[in-house]
Structure 1
Amino acid sequence: MPQPIQWYPGHIAKAERQLKEQLNRVDVVLEVLDARIPFASHHPQVDEWIGEKPRVVVVNRRDMIPSEILSQWRDWYQAQKIQPVFTDAKKGTGVKGVIKAAQLAGKAMNDRRISRGMRPRPVRAVVMGLPNVGKSALINRLVGKKVVESARKAGVTKQLRWVRISDQIEMLDAPGVIPWKLDDQHNAVKLAICEDIGAASYDNQLVAAAMVDLLVELNLEQHLTERYDLDPLDMSGEDYVIALGDHRFQGDRERSAVTLLNEFRKGILGQIPLELPN
Protein backbone atom coordinates (compact mmCIF):
# COMPACT_ATOMS: atom_id res chain seq x y z
CA MET A 1 0.00 0.00 0.00
CA PRO A 2 1.43 3.41 -0.94
CA GLN A 3 2.10 6.10 1.65
CA PRO A 4 -1.11 7.62 3.08
CA ILE A 5 -2.97 9.78 0.57
CA GLN A 6 -4.54 12.90 2.08
CA TRP A 7 -5.90 15.83 0.09
CA TYR A 8 -8.01 18.66 1.44
CA PRO A 9 -7.27 21.98 -0.30
CA GLY A 10 -8.41 25.17 1.43
CA HIS A 11 -11.37 25.91 -0.85
CA ILE A 12 -13.00 22.56 -0.04
CA ALA A 13 -13.61 23.36 3.65
CA LYS A 14 -15.35 26.58 2.62
CA ALA A 15 -17.31 24.84 -0.16
CA GLU A 16 -18.45 22.13 2.23
CA ARG A 17 -19.69 24.72 4.73
CA GLN A 18 -21.57 26.63 1.99
CA LEU A 19 -23.00 23.41 0.56
CA LYS A 20 -24.44 22.39 3.94
CA GLU A 21 -26.05 25.84 4.25
CA GLN A 22 -27.58 25.56 0.75
CA LEU A 23 -28.89 22.03 1.29
CA ASN A 24 -31.85 23.50 3.22
CA ARG A 25 -32.91 25.32 0.05
CA VAL A 26 -32.77 22.38 -2.37
CA ASP A 27 -35.53 19.89 -3.14
CA VAL A 28 -33.44 17.05 -4.57
CA VAL A 29 -29.81 15.92 -4.45
CA LEU A 30 -28.06 14.55 -7.53
CA GLU A 31 -25.09 12.54 -6.30
CA VAL A 32 -22.59 11.98 -9.13
CA LEU A 33 -20.35 8.89 -8.87
CA ASP A 34 -17.54 7.53 -11.06
CA ALA A 35 -18.70 4.32 -12.82
CA ARG A 36 -15.21 2.79 -12.45
CA ILE A 37 -15.37 3.18 -8.64
CA PRO A 38 -18.97 3.77 -7.43
CA PHE A 39 -18.15 2.75 -3.84
CA ALA A 40 -14.88 4.70 -3.51
CA SER A 41 -16.38 7.83 -5.14
CA HIS A 42 -19.31 7.97 -2.68
CA HIS A 43 -18.69 10.57 0.05
CA PRO A 44 -19.29 8.77 3.37
CA GLN A 45 -21.08 11.76 4.92
CA VAL A 46 -23.53 12.47 2.09
CA ASP A 47 -26.28 10.34 3.68
CA GLU A 48 -25.97 12.24 6.94
CA TRP A 49 -25.94 15.66 5.18
CA ILE A 50 -29.01 15.13 3.02
CA GLY A 51 -31.16 13.28 5.57
CA GLU A 52 -34.63 12.57 4.14
CA LYS A 53 -34.23 14.63 0.95
CA PRO A 54 -34.87 12.76 -2.30
CA ARG A 55 -31.63 11.63 -3.95
CA VAL A 56 -30.87 10.66 -7.53
CA VAL A 57 -27.75 8.52 -7.96
CA VAL A 58 -26.00 9.51 -11.20
CA VAL A 59 -23.28 7.06 -12.22
CA ASN A 60 -21.13 8.99 -14.70
CA ARG A 61 -18.46 7.73 -17.13
CA ARG A 62 -20.63 4.78 -18.13
CA ASP A 63 -18.52 4.58 -21.32
CA MET A 64 -15.48 3.56 -19.25
CA ILE A 65 -16.86 0.23 -18.02
CA PRO A 66 -18.13 -2.76 -20.05
CA SER A 67 -21.91 -2.94 -20.57
CA GLU A 68 -22.20 -6.25 -18.65
CA ILE A 69 -20.62 -4.62 -15.56
CA LEU A 70 -22.96 -1.64 -15.97
CA SER A 71 -25.91 -4.09 -15.91
CA GLN A 72 -24.53 -5.69 -12.73
CA TRP A 73 -24.36 -2.26 -11.06
CA ARG A 74 -27.90 -1.44 -12.19
CA ASP A 75 -29.15 -4.71 -10.63
CA TRP A 76 -27.17 -4.04 -7.45
CA TYR A 77 -28.61 -0.51 -7.02
CA GLN A 78 -32.13 -1.69 -7.77
CA ALA A 79 -31.73 -4.35 -5.08
CA GLN A 80 -30.96 -1.45 -2.69
CA LYS A 81 -34.23 0.23 -3.85
CA ILE A 82 -32.23 2.87 -5.77
CA GLN A 83 -33.00 3.67 -9.42
CA PRO A 84 -29.62 4.85 -10.78
CA VAL A 85 -29.12 6.98 -13.90
CA PHE A 86 -26.02 6.02 -15.93
CA THR A 87 -24.48 8.87 -17.92
CA ASP A 88 -21.59 9.79 -20.15
CA ALA A 89 -21.58 13.55 -19.51
CA LYS A 90 -18.94 14.19 -22.18
CA LYS A 91 -21.15 12.80 -24.96
CA GLY A 92 -24.47 13.62 -23.29
CA THR A 93 -25.66 10.00 -23.04
CA GLY A 94 -28.24 9.51 -20.28
CA VAL A 95 -28.56 13.19 -19.29
CA LYS A 96 -32.26 13.36 -20.21
CA GLY A 97 -32.79 10.64 -17.62
CA VAL A 98 -31.18 12.92 -15.00
CA ILE A 99 -33.68 15.73 -15.75
CA LYS A 100 -36.58 13.29 -15.66
CA ALA A 101 -35.44 11.79 -12.34
CA ALA A 102 -34.88 15.24 -10.79
CA GLN A 103 -38.34 16.45 -11.88
CA LEU A 104 -39.95 13.28 -10.56
CA ALA A 105 -38.11 13.61 -7.24
CA GLY A 106 -39.16 17.29 -6.98
CA LYS A 107 -42.81 16.64 -7.89
CA ALA A 108 -43.79 16.03 -4.25
CA MET A 109 -42.56 19.53 -3.35
CA ASN A 110 -44.80 21.18 -5.97
CA ASP A 111 -47.74 18.93 -5.08
CA ARG A 112 -47.42 20.22 -1.49
CA ARG A 113 -47.26 23.84 -2.72
CA ILE A 114 -50.37 23.40 -4.87
CA SER A 115 -52.28 21.75 -2.01
CA ARG A 116 -51.52 24.85 0.10
CA GLY A 117 -52.80 27.18 -2.59
CA MET A 118 -49.26 28.22 -3.69
CA ARG A 119 -47.99 28.37 -7.25
CA PRO A 120 -45.55 25.69 -8.41
CA ARG A 121 -41.91 26.77 -8.75
CA PRO A 122 -38.84 25.29 -10.47
CA VAL A 123 -37.37 22.25 -8.75
CA ARG A 124 -34.07 23.15 -7.05
CA ALA A 125 -31.47 20.43 -7.42
CA VAL A 126 -27.89 20.30 -6.17
CA VAL A 127 -25.22 18.41 -8.10
CA MET A 128 -22.72 17.02 -5.62
CA GLY A 129 -19.93 14.49 -5.55
CA LEU A 130 -16.18 14.11 -5.22
CA PRO A 131 -13.81 16.26 -7.33
CA ASN A 132 -13.52 15.38 -11.03
CA VAL A 133 -16.39 12.88 -11.24
CA GLY A 134 -17.93 14.97 -14.05
CA LYS A 135 -20.41 17.26 -12.25
CA SER A 136 -19.64 20.39 -14.31
CA ALA A 137 -19.62 18.44 -17.60
CA LEU A 138 -23.03 17.06 -16.63
CA ILE A 139 -24.46 20.54 -15.94
CA ASN A 140 -23.12 21.86 -19.26
CA ARG A 141 -24.86 18.97 -21.02
CA LEU A 142 -28.10 19.61 -19.13
CA VAL A 143 -28.09 23.29 -20.13
CA GLY A 144 -26.98 22.53 -23.68
CA LYS A 145 -24.01 24.91 -23.59
CA LYS A 146 -20.85 25.55 -21.58
CA VAL A 147 -21.94 27.51 -18.52
CA VAL A 148 -19.50 26.12 -15.95
CA GLU A 149 -15.79 25.37 -16.17
CA SER A 150 -15.02 21.69 -16.69
CA ALA A 151 -11.71 19.84 -17.08
CA ARG A 152 -10.17 16.41 -16.56
CA LYS A 153 -8.58 17.25 -13.22
CA ALA A 154 -9.71 17.62 -9.64
CA GLY A 155 -10.65 20.94 -8.10
CA VAL A 156 -11.73 23.08 -11.10
CA THR A 157 -15.04 24.28 -9.61
CA LYS A 158 -14.13 26.50 -6.65
CA GLN A 159 -17.46 28.04 -5.66
CA LEU A 160 -21.18 27.33 -5.56
CA ARG A 161 -23.35 28.80 -8.29
CA TRP A 162 -26.97 28.40 -9.41
CA VAL A 163 -27.60 27.48 -13.04
CA ARG A 164 -31.06 27.59 -14.65
CA ILE A 165 -31.59 24.41 -16.65
CA SER A 166 -35.15 25.19 -17.78
CA ASP A 167 -38.39 26.72 -16.49
CA GLN A 168 -38.82 23.56 -14.43
CA ILE A 169 -35.34 23.10 -12.96
CA GLU A 170 -32.58 25.14 -11.31
CA MET A 171 -29.31 23.45 -10.38
CA LEU A 172 -26.64 24.30 -7.87
CA ASP A 173 -23.16 23.41 -9.14
CA ALA A 174 -21.07 22.63 -6.06
CA PRO A 175 -17.29 22.15 -5.90
CA GLY A 176 -16.19 18.58 -5.33
CA VAL A 177 -16.22 17.74 -1.64
CA ILE A 178 -13.92 15.14 -0.19
CA PRO A 179 -13.65 13.84 3.40
CA TRP A 180 -11.12 15.91 5.35
CA LYS A 181 -9.46 12.63 6.31
CA LEU A 182 -9.33 9.65 3.96
CA ASP A 183 -9.60 6.79 6.44
CA ASP A 184 -9.96 4.07 3.80
CA GLN A 185 -6.65 4.15 1.96
CA HIS A 186 -7.72 1.43 -0.49
CA ASN A 187 -10.43 3.83 -1.65
CA ALA A 188 -7.98 6.76 -1.62
CA VAL A 189 -5.67 4.84 -3.99
CA LYS A 190 -8.59 4.14 -6.36
CA LEU A 191 -9.47 7.87 -6.32
CA ALA A 192 -5.85 8.65 -7.22
CA ILE A 193 -5.80 6.06 -10.03
CA CYS A 194 -8.98 7.60 -11.49
CA GLU A 195 -7.70 11.18 -10.97
CA ASP A 196 -10.67 11.98 -8.70
CA ILE A 197 -8.27 13.59 -6.22
CA GLY A 198 -5.56 16.26 -6.56
CA ALA A 199 -2.27 15.09 -8.11
CA ALA A 200 -0.26 16.81 -5.35
CA SER A 201 -1.46 14.20 -2.86
CA TYR A 202 0.20 11.12 -4.32
CA ASP A 203 3.31 9.65 -5.90
CA ASN A 204 2.71 8.51 -9.51
CA GLN A 205 5.00 5.50 -9.25
CA LEU A 206 3.38 4.15 -6.08
CA VAL A 207 -0.14 4.68 -7.42
CA ALA A 208 0.70 3.12 -10.82
CA ALA A 209 2.17 0.11 -8.99
CA ALA A 210 -1.01 -0.18 -6.90
CA MET A 211 -3.08 -0.02 -10.10
CA VAL A 212 -1.15 -2.92 -11.64
CA ASP A 213 -1.63 -4.99 -8.45
CA LEU A 214 -5.36 -4.17 -8.47
CA LEU A 215 -5.80 -5.20 -12.12
CA VAL A 216 -4.09 -8.54 -11.37
CA GLU A 217 -6.33 -9.01 -8.31
CA LEU A 218 -9.43 -8.36 -10.49
CA ASN A 219 -8.16 -10.73 -13.24
CA LEU A 220 -7.94 -7.81 -15.67
CA GLU A 221 -4.19 -8.03 -16.29
CA GLN A 222 -4.75 -8.88 -19.97
CA HIS A 223 -5.33 -5.16 -20.63
CA LEU A 224 -1.69 -4.52 -19.62
CA THR A 225 -0.28 -7.56 -21.43
CA GLU A 226 -2.01 -6.64 -24.69
CA ARG A 227 -1.06 -2.95 -24.53
CA TYR A 228 2.57 -3.23 -23.43
CA ASP A 229 3.50 -6.78 -24.43
CA LEU A 230 4.54 -7.31 -20.81
CA ASP A 231 2.78 -9.78 -18.50
CA PRO A 232 2.34 -8.55 -14.90
CA LEU A 233 1.41 -11.96 -13.45
CA ASP A 234 4.89 -12.99 -12.32
CA MET A 235 5.86 -9.69 -10.69
CA SER A 236 4.69 -7.08 -8.23
CA GLY A 237 3.15 -3.81 -9.42
CA GLU A 238 6.32 -1.99 -8.41
CA ASP A 239 8.45 -4.38 -10.46
CA TYR A 240 6.06 -3.94 -13.40
CA VAL A 241 6.51 -0.15 -13.38
CA ILE A 242 10.31 -0.70 -13.39
CA ALA A 243 10.12 -3.39 -16.12
CA LEU A 244 7.90 -1.20 -18.32
CA GLY A 245 10.33 1.69 -17.85
CA ASP A 246 13.20 -0.57 -19.01
CA HIS A 247 11.10 -2.06 -21.83
CA ARG A 248 9.75 1.22 -23.27
CA PHE A 249 11.34 4.31 -21.73
CA GLN A 250 15.10 3.79 -21.35
CA GLY A 251 14.68 2.98 -17.65
CA ASP A 252 12.55 6.08 -16.86
CA ARG A 253 10.22 4.83 -14.08
CA GLU A 254 8.32 8.11 -13.73
CA ARG A 255 7.48 8.14 -17.43
CA SER A 256 6.43 4.50 -17.16
CA ALA A 257 4.11 5.29 -14.20
CA VAL A 258 2.59 8.40 -15.81
CA THR A 259 1.96 6.45 -19.04
CA LEU A 260 0.18 3.66 -17.14
CA LEU A 261 -2.05 6.12 -15.27
CA ASN A 262 -2.81 8.34 -18.27
CA GLU A 263 -3.62 5.44 -20.57
CA PHE A 264 -5.98 4.01 -17.95
CA ARG A 265 -7.65 7.43 -17.39
CA LYS A 266 -8.11 8.11 -21.09
CA GLY A 267 -9.55 4.64 -21.75
CA ILE A 268 -6.63 3.64 -23.98
CA LEU A 269 -6.18 0.46 -21.88
CA GLY A 270 -9.85 -0.39 -22.49
CA GLN A 271 -13.02 -0.34 -20.39
CA ILE A 272 -11.76 -1.21 -16.92
CA PRO A 273 -13.87 -1.25 -13.76
CA LEU A 274 -11.84 -1.07 -10.52
CA GLU A 275 -14.83 -2.13 -8.41
CA LEU A 276 -17.53 -4.73 -8.91
CA PRO A 277 -20.88 -4.89 -7.09
CA ASN A 278 -20.31 -7.78 -4.68
Structure 2
Amino acid sequence: MNIQWYPGHMAKTRRILAENIKLVDVVIELLDARIPISSKNPDFDDIFKNKPKIIVLNKSDLADEKISSSWSKWYNSKGYANIFIDSIKGKNINLLKNKMQDLMKDKIERDKLKGRISRPIRTMIVGIPNVGKSSLINKIAGRASAVTGDRPGVTRGKQWINVNDKIQLLDTPGILWPKFENPEVGINLAITGAIKDDVIDTVELASILFEKLARLYPKNLMERYKLTSIEGKTGFELLQIAGKNRGCIISGGEIDMLRIASIVLDELRGGKIGKITLEKPEDIINDTTE
Protein backbone atom coordinates (compact mmCIF):
# COMPACT_ATOMS: atom_id res chain seq x y z
CA MET A 1 0.00 0.00 0.00
CA ASN A 2 1.65 3.21 -1.17
CA ILE A 3 -0.01 6.37 0.17
CA GLN A 4 0.88 9.82 -1.16
CA TRP A 5 -1.26 12.83 -0.21
CA TYR A 6 -0.04 16.41 -0.57
CA PRO A 7 -2.86 18.96 -1.03
CA GLY A 8 -1.90 22.14 -2.83
CA HIS A 9 -2.30 24.38 0.23
CA MET A 10 0.58 22.57 1.96
CA ALA A 11 3.16 23.93 -0.49
CA LYS A 12 1.91 27.43 0.37
CA THR A 13 2.13 26.62 4.09
CA ARG A 14 5.78 25.58 3.71
CA ARG A 15 6.53 28.98 2.19
CA ILE A 16 4.70 30.71 5.07
CA LEU A 17 6.79 28.82 7.62
CA ALA A 18 10.06 29.70 5.88
CA GLU A 19 9.05 33.36 5.63
CA ASN A 20 8.02 33.67 9.27
CA ILE A 21 10.79 31.71 11.01
CA LYS A 22 12.77 34.92 11.50
CA LEU A 23 9.92 36.27 13.66
CA VAL A 24 10.10 33.49 16.27
CA ASP A 25 12.48 32.62 19.11
CA VAL A 26 11.53 29.00 19.80
CA VAL A 27 9.99 26.27 17.65
CA ILE A 28 7.66 23.67 19.15
CA GLU A 29 7.65 20.62 16.89
CA LEU A 30 4.54 18.61 17.68
CA LEU A 31 4.68 14.86 17.02
CA ASP A 32 2.24 12.01 17.58
CA ALA A 33 3.54 9.94 20.52
CA ARG A 34 2.24 6.78 18.84
CA ILE A 35 4.33 7.33 15.69
CA PRO A 36 7.28 9.65 16.52
CA ILE A 37 9.14 8.71 13.33
CA SER A 38 6.29 8.87 10.83
CA SER A 39 4.78 12.07 12.29
CA LYS A 40 8.04 13.99 11.92
CA ASN A 41 8.13 16.19 8.82
CA PRO A 42 11.73 15.95 7.51
CA ASP A 43 11.42 19.37 5.88
CA PHE A 44 11.26 21.03 9.30
CA ASP A 45 14.90 20.23 10.08
CA ASP A 46 16.04 22.38 7.18
CA ILE A 47 13.56 25.20 7.79
CA PHE A 48 14.23 25.50 11.54
CA LYS A 49 17.86 24.37 11.76
CA ASN A 50 19.09 27.54 13.49
CA LYS A 51 16.27 27.88 16.04
CA PRO A 52 15.98 26.44 19.57
CA LYS A 53 13.43 23.64 19.42
CA ILE A 54 11.29 21.61 21.80
CA ILE A 55 10.02 18.24 20.60
CA VAL A 56 6.52 17.81 22.02
CA LEU A 57 4.87 14.40 21.71
CA ASN A 58 1.11 14.71 21.88
CA LYS A 59 -1.58 12.07 22.43
CA SER A 60 0.63 10.43 25.04
CA ASP A 61 -2.53 9.16 26.72
CA LEU A 62 -3.07 6.89 23.70
CA ALA A 63 0.54 5.69 23.53
CA ASP A 64 2.30 2.76 25.18
CA GLU A 65 3.88 4.31 28.30
CA LYS A 66 6.84 1.91 28.32
CA ILE A 67 7.77 2.77 24.74
CA SER A 68 7.21 6.49 25.40
CA SER A 69 9.77 6.21 28.20
CA SER A 70 12.22 4.66 25.73
CA TRP A 71 11.63 7.53 23.33
CA SER A 72 12.23 10.11 26.05
CA LYS A 73 15.56 8.45 26.91
CA TRP A 74 16.49 8.41 23.23
CA TYR A 75 15.75 12.13 22.78
CA ASN A 76 17.65 12.95 25.96
CA SER A 77 20.65 10.98 24.71
CA LYS A 78 20.65 13.14 21.59
CA GLY A 79 20.33 16.35 23.60
CA TYR A 80 16.82 17.18 22.38
CA ALA A 81 14.42 18.96 24.72
CA ASN A 82 11.32 16.76 24.74
CA ILE A 83 7.98 16.61 26.59
CA PHE A 84 5.13 14.10 26.36
CA ILE A 85 1.74 15.78 26.64
CA ASP A 86 -1.99 15.25 26.37
CA SER A 87 -3.32 18.44 24.80
CA ILE A 88 -6.94 17.52 25.54
CA LYS A 89 -6.55 16.98 29.29
CA GLY A 90 -3.69 19.46 29.65
CA LYS A 91 -1.06 16.99 30.91
CA ASN A 92 2.40 18.64 31.18
CA ILE A 93 1.29 21.95 29.63
CA ASN A 94 2.81 23.98 32.48
CA LEU A 95 6.01 21.98 32.08
CA LEU A 96 6.08 23.01 28.42
CA LYS A 97 5.62 26.69 29.29
CA ASN A 98 8.54 26.47 31.74
CA LYS A 99 10.70 24.73 29.13
CA MET A 100 10.05 27.56 26.65
CA GLN A 101 11.23 30.14 29.17
CA ASP A 102 14.25 28.02 30.13
CA LEU A 103 15.38 27.82 26.50
CA MET A 104 15.22 31.61 26.21
CA LYS A 105 16.75 32.39 29.61
CA ASP A 106 20.14 33.40 28.21
CA LYS A 107 18.61 35.66 25.56
CA ILE A 108 16.36 37.32 28.13
CA GLU A 109 19.37 38.02 30.36
CA ARG A 110 21.34 39.47 27.45
CA ASP A 111 18.45 41.77 26.59
CA LYS A 112 18.28 42.98 30.19
CA LEU A 113 22.01 43.76 30.25
CA LYS A 114 21.54 45.84 27.10
CA GLY A 115 18.69 47.71 28.74
CA ARG A 116 16.06 46.30 26.42
CA ILE A 117 12.53 45.87 27.69
CA SER A 118 11.74 42.18 27.69
CA ARG A 119 9.25 41.27 25.01
CA PRO A 120 7.22 38.06 24.97
CA ILE A 121 8.91 34.87 23.81
CA ARG A 122 7.64 34.24 20.31
CA THR A 123 6.97 30.58 19.65
CA MET A 124 5.94 28.80 16.46
CA ILE A 125 4.02 25.55 16.78
CA VAL A 126 4.48 23.25 13.78
CA GLY A 127 3.39 19.72 12.97
CA ILE A 128 1.55 17.46 10.58
CA PRO A 129 -2.26 17.64 10.18
CA ASN A 130 -4.44 16.36 13.02
CA VAL A 131 -1.59 16.09 15.53
CA GLY A 132 -3.33 18.43 17.98
CA LYS A 133 -1.80 21.87 17.45
CA SER A 134 -5.00 23.83 17.98
CA SER A 135 -5.91 21.83 21.09
CA LEU A 136 -2.43 22.51 22.48
CA ILE A 137 -2.76 26.24 21.83
CA ASN A 138 -6.13 26.29 23.55
CA LYS A 139 -4.64 24.65 26.64
CA ILE A 140 -1.58 26.92 26.72
CA ALA A 141 -3.70 30.03 26.22
CA GLY A 142 -6.38 28.85 28.64
CA ARG A 143 -9.24 29.56 26.29
CA ALA A 144 -10.69 28.47 22.95
CA SER A 145 -8.33 30.67 20.98
CA ALA A 146 -8.05 28.61 17.82
CA VAL A 147 -10.42 26.61 15.66
CA THR A 148 -10.07 22.90 16.43
CA GLY A 149 -11.40 19.73 14.90
CA ASP A 150 -10.82 16.00 14.73
CA ARG A 151 -10.21 15.94 10.99
CA PRO A 152 -6.99 16.90 9.17
CA GLY A 153 -6.68 20.43 7.87
CA VAL A 154 -9.07 22.43 10.07
CA THR A 155 -6.53 25.20 10.81
CA ARG A 156 -6.01 27.20 7.61
CA GLY A 157 -4.14 30.50 8.13
CA LYS A 158 -1.45 31.74 10.47
CA GLN A 159 -2.38 33.62 13.61
CA TRP A 160 -0.61 35.04 16.68
CA ILE A 161 -2.07 34.22 20.08
CA ASN A 162 -1.09 36.15 23.21
CA VAL A 163 -0.78 33.63 26.03
CA ASN A 164 0.38 36.15 28.63
CA ASP A 165 2.98 38.90 28.90
CA LYS A 166 5.74 36.29 28.56
CA ILE A 167 4.65 34.10 25.64
CA GLN A 168 3.19 34.62 22.16
CA LEU A 169 2.28 31.69 19.93
CA LEU A 170 2.21 31.55 16.15
CA ASP A 171 -0.22 28.90 15.00
CA THR A 172 0.23 27.46 11.50
CA PRO A 173 -1.68 24.93 9.39
CA GLY A 174 -0.59 21.29 9.51
CA ILE A 175 1.83 20.38 6.77
CA LEU A 176 2.90 17.08 5.24
CA TRP A 177 5.76 16.70 2.78
CA PRO A 178 5.62 15.99 -0.98
CA LYS A 179 6.79 12.35 -0.99
CA PHE A 180 6.96 9.62 1.64
CA GLU A 181 10.20 7.78 0.90
CA ASN A 182 9.21 4.91 3.20
CA PRO A 183 5.73 3.42 2.49
CA GLU A 184 5.37 2.65 6.22
CA VAL A 185 5.28 6.38 6.94
CA GLY A 186 2.19 6.93 4.80
CA ILE A 187 0.52 3.85 6.31
CA ASN A 188 1.17 4.96 9.89
CA LEU A 189 -0.05 8.49 9.16
CA ALA A 190 -3.22 7.09 7.63
CA ILE A 191 -3.81 4.67 10.51
CA THR A 192 -3.63 7.47 13.09
CA GLY A 193 -5.79 9.87 11.07
CA ALA A 194 -3.28 12.40 9.70
CA ILE A 195 -4.43 11.55 6.16
CA LYS A 196 -8.09 11.75 5.20
CA ASP A 197 -9.88 8.40 5.04
CA ASP A 198 -11.63 9.35 1.81
CA VAL A 199 -8.36 9.20 -0.16
CA ILE A 200 -7.33 5.70 0.99
CA ASP A 201 -8.59 2.11 0.88
CA THR A 202 -9.79 1.73 4.46
CA VAL A 203 -10.24 -2.05 4.21
CA GLU A 204 -6.65 -2.54 3.12
CA LEU A 205 -5.49 -0.07 5.76
CA ALA A 206 -7.39 -1.83 8.56
CA SER A 207 -6.00 -5.18 7.35
CA ILE A 208 -2.47 -3.80 7.59
CA LEU A 209 -3.25 -2.43 11.04
CA PHE A 210 -4.41 -5.88 12.15
CA GLU A 211 -1.13 -7.38 10.92
CA LYS A 212 0.79 -4.79 12.92
CA LEU A 213 -1.29 -5.41 16.04
CA ALA A 214 -0.94 -9.18 15.66
CA ARG A 215 2.83 -8.66 15.79
CA LEU A 216 3.08 -5.87 18.37
CA TYR A 217 -0.03 -6.22 20.57
CA PRO A 218 -1.54 -9.68 19.98
CA LYS A 219 -3.31 -9.82 23.36
CA ASN A 220 -5.03 -6.45 22.82
CA LEU A 221 -6.13 -7.50 19.34
CA MET A 222 -7.53 -10.85 20.41
CA GLU A 223 -9.37 -9.49 23.43
CA ARG A 224 -10.92 -6.50 21.67
CA TYR A 225 -12.23 -8.46 18.68
CA LYS A 226 -12.79 -11.83 20.39
CA LEU A 227 -10.31 -13.67 18.19
CA THR A 228 -9.59 -17.19 19.41
CA SER A 229 -6.47 -17.52 17.26
CA ILE A 230 -4.35 -15.23 15.08
CA GLU A 231 -1.59 -17.67 14.15
CA GLY A 232 -1.11 -18.10 10.41
CA LYS A 233 -3.89 -15.69 9.42
CA THR A 234 -3.55 -12.60 7.27
CA GLY A 235 -4.73 -9.22 8.43
CA PHE A 236 -7.64 -9.39 5.98
CA GLU A 237 -8.71 -12.78 7.33
CA LEU A 238 -8.57 -11.50 10.90
CA LEU A 239 -10.58 -8.45 9.87
CA GLN A 240 -13.21 -10.74 8.38
CA ILE A 241 -13.49 -12.69 11.63
CA ALA A 242 -13.69 -9.44 13.61
CA GLY A 243 -16.47 -8.25 11.29
CA LYS A 244 -18.43 -11.44 11.88
CA ASN A 245 -17.93 -11.22 15.64
CA ARG A 246 -19.14 -7.60 15.61
CA GLY A 247 -22.21 -8.41 13.55
CA CYS A 248 -21.11 -6.45 10.49
CA ILE A 249 -23.18 -8.57 8.10
CA ILE A 250 -24.86 -7.55 4.86
CA SER A 251 -27.46 -9.35 2.74
CA GLY A 252 -26.43 -12.84 1.79
CA GLY A 253 -24.48 -13.29 5.00
CA GLU A 254 -21.35 -11.56 3.71
CA ILE A 255 -19.12 -9.45 5.94
CA ASP A 256 -19.51 -5.68 5.58
CA MET A 257 -15.78 -5.03 5.27
CA LEU A 258 -16.09 -1.28 4.91
CA ARG A 259 -18.04 -1.06 8.14
CA ILE A 260 -15.67 -3.21 10.22
CA ALA A 261 -12.65 -1.38 8.74
CA SER A 262 -14.14 1.97 9.79
CA ILE A 263 -14.89 0.62 13.27
CA VAL A 264 -11.35 -0.70 13.72
CA LEU A 265 -9.69 2.55 12.63
CA ASP A 266 -12.00 4.63 14.84
CA GLU A 267 -11.31 2.38 17.83
CA LEU A 268 -7.54 2.54 17.32
CA ARG A 269 -7.65 6.35 17.11
CA GLY A 270 -9.89 6.54 20.17
CA GLY A 271 -7.66 4.33 22.29
CA LYS A 272 -10.26 1.58 22.64
CA ILE A 273 -7.86 -1.16 21.56
CA GLY A 274 -5.45 -0.08 24.28
CA LYS A 275 -2.37 2.11 24.58
CA ILE A 276 -0.67 1.48 21.25
CA THR A 277 2.66 2.75 19.90
CA LEU A 278 3.63 1.62 16.41
CA GLU A 279 7.26 2.83 16.39
CA LYS A 280 10.23 2.37 18.72
CA PRO A 281 13.59 4.19 18.78
CA GLU A 282 15.30 1.08 17.39
CA ASP A 283 13.13 1.41 14.27
CA ILE A 284 15.19 4.44 13.24
CA ILE A 285 17.49 3.39 10.44
CA ASN A 286 18.98 6.82 9.87
CA ASP A 287 18.82 9.59 12.46
CA THR A 288 16.27 11.88 10.78
CA THR A 289 15.73 14.06 13.85
CA GLU A 290 18.92 16.06 13.58
State the TM bucket, normalised to the shorter chain: over 0.9
Q: Structure 2: which amino acid aligns with 1:135?
A: K
Say whether the 8 Å CA contact 1:12–1:178 is kept in structure 2: yes
Q: Structure 2: which amino acid aligns with 1:222?
A: K
Please point out which of 256, 273, 278 is paired with 2:277.
Answer: 273
The corresponding residue for 1:226 is 223
Say whether the 8 Å CA contact 1:212–1:221 is kept in structure 2: no
Of all paired residues, the percent bearing the same amino acid is 35
Q: Structure 2: which amino acid aligns with 1:16?
A: R
Deviation per CA, 1:80-110: give whole Å up to 9, x if none: 1123111000000111111111111222332
Q: Structure 1: which amino acid aligns with 2:11?
A: A
Q: Runs of 5+ in structure 1 lacking a partner?
A: none
Please point out which of 252, 255, 270 is paired with 2:256.
Answer: 252
| Cα distance between partner residues in 2 of 1:198 and 1:182 | 16
Please point out which of 18, 27, 30 is paired with 1:32.
Answer: 30
| Cα distance between partner residues in 1 of 2:277 and 2:180 | 21
Q: Structure 2: which amino acid aligns with 1:20?
A: A
| Cα distance between partner residues in 2 of 1:69 and 1:183 | 24
State whether structure 2 residue 97 is matched by structure 1 residue 99.
yes
| Cα distance between partner residues in 2 of 1:192 and 1:176 | 15
| SS in structure 2 at match of 1:71 | helix
4+ runs of 1 displaced by more than 4 Å? none
| SS in structure 1 at match of 2:174 | coil
| Cα distance between partner residues in 2 of 1:131 and 1:252 | 29
The corresponding residue for 2:286 is none
Q: Runs of 5+ in structure 2 lacking a partner?
A: 250-254, 283-290
Matches within 5 A, 1:168-207: 168-207=166-205
| SS in structure 2 at match of 1:33 | strand
Say whether the 8 Å CA contact 1:155–1:198 is kept in structure 2: no
Deviation per CA, 1:119-178: give whole Å up to 9, x if none: 211000000011111111000000111111112221111111110111000000111111
Say whether the 8 Å CA contact 2:226–2:242 is kept in structure 1: no
Q: Structure 2: which amino acid aligns with 1:171?
A: L
| SS in structure 2 at match of 1:84 | strand
The corresponding residue for 2:124 is 126
| Cα distance between partner residues in 2 of 1:24 and 1:166 | 21
| Cα distance between partner residues in 1 of 2:151 and 2:230 | 28
Offset of residue 277 of structure 1: 2.0
| Cα distance between partner residues in 2 of 1:240 and 1:44 | 34
- Please give the TM-score of this superposition, normalised by the length of structure 1: 0.95
| Cα distance between partner residues in 2 of 1:87 and 1:162 | 22
Offset of residue 247 of structure 1: 3.3
The corresponding residue for 2:138 is 140
The corresponding residue for 1:60 is 58
Offset of residue 238 of structure 1: 1.7
| SS in structure 1 at match of 2:81 | coil
| SS in structure 1 at match of 2:238 | helix
**CA root-mean-square deviation:** 1.3
Q: Structure 1: which amino acid aligns with 2:222?
A: T
Q: Structure 2: which amino acid aligns with 1:178?
A: L
Deviation per CA, 1:167-206: give whole Å up to 9, x if none: 0000001111110122221011001000012223311111
| Cα distance between partner residues in 1 of 2:238 and 2:69 | 32
